[in-house]
Amino acid sequence: MTDIVLGVGASHSTLMNTHWEETVHKDEAGRFRDALYAARDELAAARPDTVVIVGSNHFRGFWLDLIPSFTIGVGECVASGESGTPKGPQPVDEDLARHIAGTLVDGGRFDVAFSARLQIDHGQSHAIQYLLDGLDVEIVPIVVNVFAPPLPALARCDALGGAIRDAIAAFPGDRRVAVIGSGGLSHRLPWPDWRSPDGEDEEFMVRAWLDGRHNWQDYDARRRQIIRAAQAAINPEFDDELLTMVEKGELHRITAYTTERLEEVAGNGAQEVRTWLVMAAALGHAPGRRLAYEVIPEWLTGMGVAVIDPAPHGKVSR
């Protein structure tokens, strides 16, 4: 029998790699990093064969010429390697990935996109770098559109997680599977609505998102300058509410937010909590544990880590 043995939700920031020394809130940054390592140890203890990584796209894997709501990597997977994150081919559990994609489509629950040659960015590779360090596992990469409206409704992300859970349970054999949701929490990026850019910087960003498929690196230096010049907009109250939902097994309540309300309260970067929602739903919304929450303005983000163990009393079955 194929079982989901652990879930992890974790924020990501490439500024961990590129601007650690310039980070003023070193204690907070250290506690967050330690929580990533603690989650990594829990993943190791759960002994997964495969890790489903649900992450976002930062216009280095998908561009405005084609933006599916949900995409499953079912073949080759290459990490773009920006900002010191892993680069190059990643090992994919093709059998499980194709089973999940086929089950979702054949069952009529989701017409997901799939890619036999998927490029991922730090929306997945940040988790590979910190949460899968030293683990001999294959992955199933799943990309959720969180930055190019119209975005999939939060309720659809919740339903997708449940459908993935059912598909994994139906997979023949005895795979042990973990699920990671990578992204969030509250933050605001200086990224426009692509449909109505305002000013030179926003027009540049939209052009990079439209034309970057073959030369995204050419746009990266200015992109980073625009991001580094942004002011932090973190909402610790929202982040605490979300993490409390995770702890209580009630993250499905976040579906009460519309896309517009979520951005108003927690910033456009908070749209990444869709990845946590897919993960939590795949874990059957079992109660979780908060490992860390830190406000790190230099990274523009409220940084959280949580673990969901579906086994009774929080113990991984052996």
User: Which of these is catalytic: 12, 99, 187, 285?
Assistant: 187
Catalytic position from the list 12, 58, 99, 122:
122
Beta strands at 301-308 and 3-10: parallel, antiparallel or unpaired: antiparallel
* Beta bridge mates, 119: 78
Buried (b) or exposed (e) across 155-192, using 16+ Cβ within 10 A? ebbbbbbbbbbebbeebeeebbbbbbbbbbbbbbbbbb
- DSSP assignment string, 201-228: HHHHHHHHHHHTTTTTHHHHHHHHHHHH
The contacts of residue 207 (CB under 8 Å, 6+ apart) are 219
CA distance 159 to 165: 10
Among residues 314, 310, 312, the alpha carbon closest in space to that of 7 is found at 310
Active site residue 126: no
Q: Which residue has the tokens 């991001």?
A: 227
Task: Please indicate whether residue 122 is annotated as part of the active site.
Answer: yes
> Residue 204: left (phi > 0), alpha (psi -120 to 50), or beta?
alpha
Cα 282 from Cα 179, distance rounded (Å): 8
Q: Determine contact, residues 106/64, Cβ cutoff 8 Å.
A: no
Q: Which two tokens stand for residue 60?
A: 């280095």
Nearest to 74 by CA among 114, 121, 124, 119: 114
Active site residues: 122, 187
